Amino acid sequence: MISSHSQATEAMALSEATRARFAREVAKYPPEQKQSAVMACLSIVQQEQGWVSREAELAVAEYLEMPAMAVHEVTTFYNMYNQQPVGKYKLNVCTNLPCQLRGGNEALAHLARKLGIEMGGTTADGLFTLQQCECLGACADAPVMLVNDRNMCSFMDHDKLDQLVDGLRAAEGKA
Ligand code: FES
């Protein structure tokens, strides 16, 4: 008889290198608090895979001996974890009020036009994913956008956005 669990999601196999990276994060905490490394482990998975799949969440849960749902809650709570595959460059445009009042929505619309994708979409060449996000804590520099969860692009105007996109395309040989 086929088990009813045969379709269930299974934990991704972790490479030795990944386990070693996890272990370095876990070592920063007392043994009974190794679950505190969950964000760091999810970040490692995302660096290596580009996103955090359900299979990866299960692997992290197993490694840290914590409930899979608790890991999933972390993945879904923080905007920086990609729950689907994304382009090489993830563009998060802030659309909260202070940014909106200074052209955040126009910037988003301009990027969507330039890239030929809808908000939430990824370009066919896999280079760009366009998303909106909540306040990035840089309202004084509005409107702002975060590139790959790391690099802030402040005071966006159309020229600045064109330069950024064209520069990244050129760097990837896709100008
Ligand atoms: S509202 Fe956009 S950074 Fe605060």
Find the CATH number of the domain harbouring 50.
Answer: 1.10.10
Q: Are residues 69 and 95 in the same domain?
A: no
pLDDT at residue 1 above 50? no
In a domain, 84, yes or no: no
What share of the chain in percent tops pLDDT 70? Answer: 95
Instruction: Provide the CA 89 distance to its chain's centre, in angstroms.
Output: 10
Q: Residue 7: its pLDDT value, please?
A: 55
Q: Are residues 165 and 93 in the same domain?
A: yes
Assess contact for 92 and 137: CB atoms under 8 A. no
Q: Residue 143: its pLDDT value, please?
A: 96
Q: Are residues 51 and 94 in the same domain?
A: no
pLDDT at residue 96 above 80? yes
* Prediction pTM value: 0.78
Q: Distance between CA atoms of 81 and 73, rounded to whole angstroms? A: 11
- Point out the ligand 1 atom lying closest to the alpha carbon of residue 104: 2
In a domain, 132, yes or no: yes
Residue 132's domain comprises 89-171
Phi/psi of residue 124, nearest 5 degrees? -60, -30
Which residue of 79, 102, 139 sits with most ligand 1 atoms within 8 Å of its CB, as the best mutation to test the pocket? 139
Instruction: Compute, in angstroms, the gap from residue 140 CA to the centroid of ligand 1.
Output: 8
Assess contact for 75 and 126: CB atoms under 8 A. no
Q: Are residues 69 and 93 in the same domain?
A: no
> Once rounded to an integer, what is the mean pLDDT over residues 115-124?
94
Q: Are residues 153 and 96 in the same domain?
A: yes
Which residue of 135, 141, 145, 146 sits with most ligand 1 atoms within 8 Å of its CB, as the best mutation to test the pocket? 135
How many folded domains does the chain comprise?
2
Per-residue pLDDT band for 34 (boundaries 50, 70, 90) equals: very high
CATH of the domain at 100: 3.40.30.10
Instruction: Compute, in angstroms, the gap from residue 159 CA to the centroid of ligand 1.
Output: 20
Q: Are residues 148 and 95 in the same domain?
A: yes
Which residue of 102, 144, 146 sits with most ligand 1 atoms within 8 Å of its CB, as the best mutation to test the pocket? 144
Q: Are residues 53 and 107 in the same domain?
A: no
In a domain, 109, yes or no: yes
- Residues 6 or more apart in contact with residue 168 via CB below 8 angstroms: 89, 127, 128
